[in-house]
Every structure is written in structure tokens, then in C-alpha cells.
Amino acid sequence: MDHRNFRIAMRVATVTAMFALATAAEAQHSTTHKPTTKAISQPLVPDGRRTGLVLGVYTMAAPGVTLTGDDVDGTFKTNFGPGAGVMVGYGFNRTFSGFASLDLAKQGTSGGDLGGSFGLRHIELGARANLPYGSDMTVPYLTASYGQRALGARVTDNFEGGAQYDMRLSGGMFGVGGGLEHVISPTLAVDGGLAVAFGRFSHGDINGESSSLAVNGTTSIRLRIGMTWRPAPRRG
């Protein structure tokens, strides 16, 4: 092979090698980025039965409570009133979760010698069970809880000539409830339900004096609606 043909052969070999390297690099680039492209293209699916952290805020309406018993002069009643609350929970699996909640409703009095704007507070630890109905986006559920209730105000005692003092009644409770959660995005859902609490306001702090109270059991009801938030699920 003469010198001229040798130079031509070298040029052809060089171009061929460069083309081969470019093709290999492009193939490697496509292979490396293909899973990422596929993962990004997969949409986030709304799911109200996911495990993990959940936070909630809600407004509520609470019918009044009625107190009777040996230490109550006649009947003491409060009126229907509005309120709000917060909740934090954790889903252990797609059926069961635990939660803690705190809410407060404002209620006036209904007749009687005591007048005031009462706050009805519930503090609860509970469990939730998702029912095997609905769908992943619309989830019916039941709840059970245990906690403390309190009813308190700065009252005006008309029997004592309009004297004013602090009054707080409290006691243990257990509750049951149910609701429906509807997912509107991968992280947000609308949650509404009903909760019923049972127990006795068996301890009183009245005008600076603390004592046990002989009272009958009292039911408190809360109708609530709000929003729940879950962290965005990982893309698959």
C-alpha cells in the first residue's frame, strides 16, 4: 500500500471509530435516563387509604350538653354552638390508623341561674378503621377514642345577685364516631363526620374551690367537616 492510500485508509478508520464511539455514548445515555423519564411520566394517584402521617383541621357544630344529678340544682344546659379542632394521625396499614385530636366549641347557656359563654373542649386518643366499601378516593370509616372533656366559663350567678366567678367542670370520656373522607388530590382530602362522647363531668373547679361532683352521665355530640393532608407519595 502506497503512502496516499495509507492516509485514506487512516481517515476512513478514524471516521468509523468516531461514529462508533458516538453511537455507543448515545446508547448509554438513553439507557441511563430511560427509567427516570418513565418514573416522571407516571402520575401521582390520589389514595385515602395510604399509610403514614396525616394532619387535619376542621370546623364543627356542637349541640348543647345537659347536666343533672345530686350536685346540680335542677338542670343545667348549654346551647348549640360552633367550634374548631385539629388532628394528627398515623396510618399503620390500609385499614387501621391511630390519631390524637383537640377541639373546642363555644356555647351559651339556656336559662337557669348561671349565665356565661362556655367553652366545651375534647382531648382524645383514638383508633380509626377504614371500611371495605367505597374506593381509594372515597373512604368511609369508624372511630373509637378515650380522653377528657371540660366545660368552663366566667359565669354570672343570678341566684347570688349577679356575682361573677370562674367555673370549670371536667371528666373522662369515651367516644365513637364515623365519617367519610374524599380525596381531591394526592395530598389533600375533604373529611366529614359525626362524633359522640359519653362520660361524666365529675370534677368541678368552682369559684376557686375544687371538688368531686355527683352528676349523671352526659352525652356530647360534634358534627365536623374539614381537610386532611398527607405527604405526597413517592413516584413509582
In tens, the pLDDT along 111-147 reads 677 888 899 999 999 999 999 998 999 999 999 999 9
Give mean pLDDT, residues 49-56. 96
pTM over 0.85: no
The answer to whether residue 21 scores a pLDDT higher than 70 is: no
The answer to whether residue 26 scores a pLDDT higher than 50 is: no
Highest mean pLDDT among 4-8, 59-63, 76-80: 59-63
Q: How many CB atoms lie within 10 A of CB 223?
A: 13
Domain range list for the chain: 1-42, 52-229
Out of 12-16, 46-50, 218-222, 229-233, pick the least confident.
Answer: 12-16
52-229 belongs to which CATH class? mainly beta
What pLDDT does residue 150 have?
Answer: 97
